[in-house]
Structure formats: C-alpha cells, structure tokens
Structure 1
Amino acid sequence: MRLTPNQDGVINFGWRGWEGDLPTSFIRHCSENQTLDERTIVYYDETIQTSVKRILPLLSYFHKDSRTDKFGGTSLTGVQPYMGNAIPNLTGSVVFTDFAKKGESQSPIKGVLAYTRAGTDGKHADFHAIETNYDFGTQAAYYMSLGTNLNQTKLYLGVYGSMKVTDFNKGTIFEIIP
C-alpha cells in the first residue's frame, strides 16, 4: 500500500486493494464458456478496511470497455496533464497512454494515446482516443511512456518496437503536435 504524508498523518490511496474505482480482482477463466469466468477480490480484507478511508481516484480508465466507440487496453503506461495551447482540444485535459490496444485483430500491435477531462460531478469521465498519423510500417509500436516539459505545454510519447525494453535500439520519442 502506498502512503503519502499530509498534515493529518497519511493519505490512503487504497493501492493494492483497489484498481481505480474497482477492487483488485483475479480472473479464473472458464475454457468452455467465457460468461462463466469468475472474478475474485484479491486483497479482500485490505479492500474492506480501506474502502471508507481511501481517497477515490479523480479519473478511472477500464481496460475492458463494452461501448462500441471505446477501446480496450492492456496496461496504463503514462498519464500527464496538458496545459498548452498548441493543441486547443487537449488544453486542460488528462492525456494517457496504454501499452497496446486490445480487442481488434491489429497487426502489427500498436499502443493507444487518449485523453479525458476530470469532472467535479462524481460521474465517470469519458475518454477518447487520439489518432496518430505516424506510419510504423510492419513494426510493433508499444506505447511505453508519456512525458511533458516543465510547464506541461508539450507532450512526448515514448514508443518501443518490442515488449522487452532490454531489446536495445528499438525506441523512439515523439513530440505530439497538431
């Protein structure tokens, strides 16, 4: 569990017991019928103890989204606020990357760049993919990281051609421009 000090003692983000808004779960797959897959809360006692004490996330992104206009992902690999003006539609947004897009028969594999806006109404924020127009050719493009400059007015995307970061000379950093 990650604890961060504050003036009253500690802030509990609920990590380990929670994955965003949902309790951390383990999925036991049923090979004969996927609708019979079982989800079990992994850290049950910890989840119960932290459920009333933890600070809820401002935003949540689910790797498995049933909405047809959304994408599935595998692993959140970067999150940055964008405060610049060069990409007006993103100003004030939270931009994030997912390691690899899931659900489509996509070859080669490619990550996802997306954005959302934090709301104050307690409802789940919607998210949208940002289409990139760089042609990676037949090489995989795993989106490994996302960064900004100090003023958070420029965005940088780290892309790697292999799932293994120990494979040398397969990475590139791109500046995201309109």
Structure 2
Amino acid sequence: MDETTRPDGGPTAADATRSAAPVEREPEAHESGSRGRIVVGVDGSKQSRIALRWACADARAKGDVVVAAAVWHLYPLAPPERVGASPWWFTADPQEATEAYLGEVVDEVAADFPDVVVEQRVLSGHAAEELIRLSATAEEVVLGATGSGGFVGMTLGSTSRAVLEHALSTVVLAR
C-alpha cells in the first residue's frame, strides 16, 4: 500500500485535489455532516411555548432541527371531578386532539423562526418516558421550567424532574 491507496478503498488526498467541483458543506451542518436534534416537550402550556421558543432560537443559532413532541396518555379511570361528565378523551380521538393542539402551538411559535425546521411528533405513553427515549438521539431536550399541577410554589414538575434525572442528553429548563 502506498500514498495512492487506502485500506478502505476510499478516496485519497490526491483524489480530493483532482476533484473538478469543490464540495460545499451546509453551514448549519455539524462535524458529522448531519444536523443535530433539539427535542422539546410541548403540552400546550405557557411554559411549553416558552420552551419551544427557546429551542427554536437555539436551533437557529446552531443549525439544528427542532422536534416538538407532544405525548398523550389515557388514564384508566376518570378523575373524581370528571365522573358523570364527558372528558375530552372520551369524546375525541386523543391522537387527533393532540396533533391539533401541537400544530397550533408550533404554527404560533415557528412563525417567528421561518428558517428553523420544526418536526412534530405526537406519541402515546407517559410524557417523561417518551422524552427520555427521544433524548437518546438528541443534542438536548428542552422543557418548560414549571410543573402544571400539584403543589403551589413547585418550580419543577414531575415530568421535568424525571427527564432531568434520566435523560441521555443535555436538558434545558426554559423560563
């Protein structure tokens, strides 16, 4: 083997200098040549809109793709205050309802970031588990900083806490 051959059969430095047309790289591409992914949990709350806005701004700066993820889950029993009522999950397809609100939130926020690619993912399951699973292929996971229920003054919700403790990527809590 000499300087004109490579063990893997790929092009050598000499081959690259003989190339007629230079190969241009996307300015947004990471070193690996692919865009990074920023996963953001969207539940329709004010905090999740803030998180999506933060993720879009970060993606614009880095050239990443935003994956806006909304997770729905049917509880086995209606909460006591819903017994005898008609909760939305009994009257509408939860997948369709989640797709609708996710689309509205993404349209609202993405209008300010026309150069950012925002993919929408609607998943069924437990929010924390699904976001942790998505973190395995993400540069970062962005969540709203405040819990949606439970205790007054609680600044970190159970989903955010679980994702923070178990995510396989960086986690950002946006305020």
Shared fold, TM over 0.5:
no
TM-score bracket, normalised by the shorter chain, equals under 0.3
Query: Of Structure 1 and Structure 2, which has the larger fraction of its residues in strand?
Result: 1
Query: What is the TM-score with the length of structure 2 in the denominator?
Result: 0.23
Greater radius of gyration (CA): 2
Which of the two has greater helix per residue? 2
